[in-house]
Amino acid sequence: MGARAQAFGRTDGIAPAGDIFAVQNEVSDGVMSTLGGRGLLTSLAAAAAKRKGPCDLEAYDVFALGLADFYRDGEENFAEGIKLFDAAIAKDPQFAFAYVKKAWSMLNYTLCTNGDIDQTGEEFERLARKAIEIDPYDAEGHIALGDKLVWWGDFAQGAVEVERALELNPSSTDIMAMSAGAMAHLGKPEQGAAQCDKAYRLNSAPPPFYPPFCYESYFFTDGIEGRRKRRSVMAHGCGAARGVVT
């Protein structure tokens, strides 16, 4: 019996065509999420940018360097990331994703330093809305705004933005994970946990910001055994040695 047929529980040796297409879609989504999104390729861009002279840096180079800092975690790195995202925006004021990542860096910095979270929340929302204004079809702005609104208690409008992000980019594992961050708050932790499972399954190089978007949904849906298995997801916090808060 073929391995694929076996995988689908078929005993006649033939894998159902629909399931094969589903697998093909999942494989392509996995490859895209691992390489693209803002994962591996951005890391390569950051490595290339480090070799350039300061005067040769384009907006995307500076952005990639900022993202590298963002992934390193810790208040110093978040602070450096904010400066670099500002520099990217100065070079290209229409660079929507730089506004979004600046927003996340600011939120992380505030969480790490126990700063004024409501003040940062207002700036976070402004940056997310600016990104949406520049590029309304980029899911990143919508998921940032949706998460913020939900976390601050505006469930109705937040849910609209989260759904919009998932509509715009249903294959992105980053969007799956980040939207999961809202699901427990919206009363849908099972959906959040399923999205996180899928994001981890598809993205073989998940960025370090997935755990904080997933731990709530996992906490509210897992039994004791599940929580034991997912200790690595729960055990994170500010500081490079322990993972990243996003």
* Under rule CB under 8 A, residue 141 binds another protein: no
What distances in angstroms separate CA 37 from CA 33, 97, 102, 174, 205, one per listed residue? Answer: 6, 11, 17, 7, 11
Give least dist CB 166 to another protein, A.
18
* Under rule CB under 8 A, residue 216 binds another protein: yes
Query: Of 62 and 214, which CB lies nearer to another protein in the complex structure?
Result: 214
Q: Which of 3, 17, 55, 224 binds another protein (CB under 8 A)?
A: 224
Binding mask 173-212 for another protein (x = CB under 8 A): -----------xxxx-x----------------------x
* Under rule CB under 8 A, residue 7 binds another protein: no
Q: Could you give the CA distance from residue 69 to residue 72 in angstroms, rounded to a whole number?
A: 5
Q: Which of 45, 62, 106, 111 binds another protein (CB under 8 A)?
A: 111
* Under rule CB under 8 A, residue 240 binds another protein: no
Phi, psi of 133, rounded to the nearest 5 degrees? -60, -40
The size of the chain, in residues, is 246
Q: Which helix (H) or strand (E) holds 228?
A: helix 224-229
| Contact by Cβ (8 Å): 84, 63 | yes
Q: Could you give the CA distance from residue 13 to residue 194 in angstroms, rounded to a whole number?
A: 30
Q: Which of 9, 11, 231, 232 binds another protein (CB under 8 A)?
A: 231
Q: What is the DSSP string of 86-147?
A: HHHHHH-TT-HHHHHHHHHHHHHHHHHHT--HHHHHHHHHHHHHHHHHH-TT-HHHHHHHHH
* Under rule CB under 8 A, residue 20 binds another protein: no
* Under rule CB under 8 A, residue 230 binds another protein: yes
Give least dist CB 155 to another protein, A.
5
Query: Of 160 and 234, which CB lies nearer to another protein in the complex structure?
Result: 234
Q: Could you give the CA distance from residue 97 to residue 105 in angstroms, rounded to a whole number?
A: 12
Query: Of 200 and 220, which CB lies nearer to another protein in the complex structure?
Result: 220
Query: Of 11 and 232, which CB lies nearer to another protein in the complex structure?
Result: 232
Q: Could you give the CA distance from residue 78 to residue 108 in angstroms, rounded to a whole number?
A: 7
Binding site residues, another protein, CB under 8 A: 111, 114, 117, 150-153, 155, 184-187, 189, 212, 215-216, 218-220, 224, 227-228, 230-231, 234-237, 245
